[in-house]
Amino acid sequence: MKYELWDVISLTEEEPLQPFTKLFESDDFMKVFIEFEYQYLDQKRPCVIITDKEPIPDKYKTNDKIYESPDGSKTIFERTILSSERKQIK
């Protein structure tokens, strides 16, 4: 299974973030996560990790939440890390 680290952009405030440039890839999820953590987290650069067909192994799953606002806090969405399903909370 391949894991890819991509930076993300949104063309307008109303559109969701979309993968833009592939930054790193590996067959090992932790290598990709460590690359993100050490290279891009401090820069506050929004990134996503994308995987091919198979789901992410249970040992990497978490219940931690991400809160996103595409419109400057007028609308707020909540989702679990590593999930694309989100719900509107504001």
Tokens at 49, concatenated: 């990790």
Residue 66 neighbours by CB under 8 Å, 6+ apart: 78, 79, 80, 81
8 Å CB contact between 61 and 82: yes
| Beta carbons within 10 angstroms of residue 49's beta carbon | 19
pLDDT tens digits for range 45-72: 778 788 776 666 676 667 778 788 878 7
Reported pTM: 0.49
- Rounded mean pLDDT, 5-32: 83
